[in-house]
A = this chain, B = another copy of it.
Amino acid sequence: MRDVAIVGVGMIPFGRYPEMEAHEMGAKATLDALKDAGTALKDIQLLVCGQLFGTSGAGQRMLKEIGQTGIPVVNTANACATGSTAFREGYFAIASEMYDAVLVVGQEKMGSGVMGGDEPPGGERPEGFVGSGTMPALFAMAGMEHMRKYGTTQEQFAKVAVKAKKHAAGNPYAKYRDPATLDEVLNARMISYPNTMLMCCPNTDGAAAAVLMPMAKARQYTSQPIRVAASILTSDPWTERDLALLDINTLTRNAARQAYETAGVGPEDLDLVELHDCFATAELLHYENLGLCGDGEAGRFIDEEATYIGGRIPVNASGGLLSKGHPLGATGVANIVEVTWHLRGQAGQRQVENAKVGLAHVIGIGAACTVHILKK
C-alpha cells in the first residue's frame, strides 16, 4: 500500500435547500474541491459517492450536473457513516495503486422530520414502530447509563452544547451560529432526558467533497498535502446486549484502537478531534471511547473546558453536528474536510493553532464506525 493524500476539499454551508436536490449540492461541493485541488473533472478517474436516501445512482446524478466522463462510479450507504465509508473506498482505490486521482463526495437532502421524514430509507419508518428505539431515545439512554455509572450530570452534557454553539460562531458552514448559555440549553424544550432540543443535532441538508491522490502525485498539486494516516471501519462485534445503541461505545473503542495502531499515534498526539456529536450525550461518551480522557472522567473533562478551542484537545471546533446539522451522507466527508482545513491552517476564526494531527470520527447505528487520522 502507498501513502494517500487529500489534495483538495470542498463543502457547502449546511442548512436547508428546498430548491436543491442532494446531487446538486454534491456538485457544488465537488466543484469547490476540484478548484481547491487545482485539478479538473477530466483528470478524475473514479468517483465514490455517499448518499443514504436514494443511494443507487446518487454519484451518477451528481456527475450529470457537472460533466459525465465515463469514469467508474461507486455508491455507498452505511447509516451515519455513509460519507466516511465512501471516503474509505476512495482511499483504498488510491492505496491499491489502481487509481491516481479519486473524487469522494458525500451529499444528502433530509426530509422534514426525524430520519428523513417524508422520505424514509428503504420504505421504513423506524420512529413509527420501534418506540423507545428512536435515535433521541437511544442516545438519551446511553447518557443516562453514564449518569448512573459515573454520576455525570445533565449540566455536564449541556456544556457540550454550550461549547458547540460557541465554536460554531466561527464557522460559516454551520447551520446554527448563535451562542447559547448553559441556562438556555437546559431550559430548551426537552426532547429525551437528559438531551434538550439544543442538545440534539438539527435536521439539515449538505454536501462535502474531497480529491485524493497518491502522496507523490499530491505534492505536485499542493504544498500542503494531508496524509490519511489511518482509515478504519468497524461493525458491531457479537454481544449478548439487545440494545443496539450501547454498541456505540464498543464500536468506537475498536475503531479508535485500530486507528491509533495504524497511524502510530495515541490520543495524546492529537491536536484536534471532530467526533460524532449527534446528541450531546454522545460527545461525552466518545471522549472516553476515543481515549481523550479516562473512563468516567468525561464530565470533569468538559467542566475543565479541555475540549474547547485553546483547551487540551479541541473537540468539534466546527461546532459539531449540534451546530452544523447532520446531512447523513455528507457528515462523514464533512468532518474530514474540517480536519483538513485545520491542518492546513485555513479554518478561519475557529482555527486550532498549529494543528498537525487530527482525528475524524463517525458512528452509524446499524452498525458502522469510522475513524480517520489525518496528518499534516
Assembled-state Cα–Cα distance A232/B45 (Å)? 12
Asked whether A56 and B70 contact (CB < 8 A) given A96-B96, A119-B122, the answer is no
Q: Are B73 and A368 in contact (CB under 8 A)?
A: yes
Q: How far is the CB of A244 from chain B (nearest CB, A)?
A: 10
Asked whether A70 and B1 contact (CB < 8 A) given A55-B56, A75-B77, the answer is no
Assembled-state Cα–Cα distance A56/B368 (Å)? 10
Q: Are B54 and A122 in contact (CB under 8 A)?
A: yes
Specify which chain B residues have a CB less than 8 angstroms from the CB of A92 in the assembled complex. Answer: 89, 92-93, 96, 98
Q: Are B72 and A234 in contact (CB under 8 A)?
A: yes
Asked whether any CB of chain B lies closer than 8 Å to the CB of A78, the reply is yes
Counting contact residues on chain A (CB < 8 A from B), the size range is 35 or more
Mark interface residues in A51-85 (1 if CB within 8 Å of B CB, else 0). Answer: 01111110110010001111111111111001001
Asked whether any CB of chain B lies closer than 8 Å to the CB of A237, the reply is yes
Q: Are A233 and B1 in contact (CB under 8 A)?
A: no
Specify which chain B residues have a CB less than 8 angstroms from the CB of A79 in the assembled complex. Answer: 56-57
Specify which chain B residues have a CB less than 8 angstroms from the CB of A13 in the assembled complex. Answer: none
Jot down 30 A-B pairs with beta carbons below 8 A, ordered by A.
Answer: A53-B122, A53-B123, A54-B121, A54-B122, A54-B124, A55-B75, A55-B77, A56-B78, A56-B79, A57-B79, A59-B235, A60-B235, A70-B237, A70-B254, A71-B235, A72-B233, A72-B234, A72-B368, A73-B78, A73-B233, A73-B235, A75-B76, A76-B77, A77-B77, A89-B89, A89-B92, A92-B93, A95-B96, A95-B98, A123-B123
Asked whether any CB of chain B lies closer than 8 Å to the CB of A367, the reply is yes
Please provide the 7 A-B residue pairs with the shortest distance between their CB atoms, ordered closest to farther: A54-B122, A70-B237, A96-B96, A72-B233, A56-B77, A68-B238, A55-B77
Q: How far is the CB of A242 from chain B (nearest CB, A)?
A: 12
Assembled-state Cα–Cα distance A233/B1 (Å)? 22
Assembled-state Cα–Cα distance A258/B1 (Å)? 24
Assembled-state Cα–Cα distance A88/B82 (Å)? 18
Q: How far is the CB of A374 from chain B (nearest CB, A)?
A: 18
Asked whether any CB of chain B lies closer than 8 Å to the CB of A297, the reply is no
> Which of chain B's residues has its CB closest to A329's CB?
B56
CB-contact partner of A76 in B74, B95, B121, B123, under 8 A: B74
